Amino acid sequence: MRERMKIVSYNVNGLRQRIAQFGSLRNLLNSFDADIVCFQETELRRQEVTADLVMAGGYESFFSCTRTSQKGRTGYSAGGDDTERIQFKQIFYRILQKRWGSLLHQGRRIFVVVDLNIAPFAIDRCDIGPDFEKNEFNGSNQC
């Protein structure tokens, strides 16, 4: 019988604020009691990344920063009228899909954790409510 692995994916909407709530990154990570913790929307630019924000004793850390666009915006989200940004995102998604397809074809076991910032149709969105963090994913795509 396999041991279960606990993976947490958390849209922190600003990592500094979450760390401040717990006193340190290590305390924040420990609060999840998880094998793997993935943060999205850290709202940190490369020049703002410091050891206390991304490294904690007993944990391995992998970090990726967004780039500032020529229009002065950071991140990957785009307004509905930003066709250039939407095209960029679509190309990125196709490349990502090919990469994980290649890894799966090689027999690798993977998981992809990402905040895609897409919900093109009403059926793709729902209000999950404040208790979402307490719920476990049940394998359905229902809210």
Distance CA 143, CA 140 (A): 8
Strand partners, 11: 40
Amino acid, single-letter form, for residue 118: I
pLDDT confidence of 66, banded at 50, 70, 90?
low
84: pLDDT strictly greater than 50: yes
Find the DSSP H helices in 7-140: 15-22, 25-32, 51-54, 83-105
Q: Binning pLDDT at 50, 70 and 90, where does residue 86 land?
A: confident
Name the nearest CA neighbour of 41 among 58, 23, 18. Answer: 18
AA letter at 17 = Q
Largest CA distance in the chain: 53
Written as one letter, the residue type at 142 is: Q
Compute CA distances 60 → 46, 55, 77, 80, 124, whole Å: 18, 7, 28, 37, 33
SS3 43: coil
Quote the CA–CA distance of 42 and 12 in Å, as a whole number. 6
Coil, strand or helix at 42 = coil
- What are 2-53's pLDDT values in tens digits? 688 899 999 888 999 999 999 999 999 999 999 999 998 888 888 889 999 9
Q: What is the pLDDT of residue 69?
A: 58
Residue 55 has pLDDT above 80, yes or no: yes
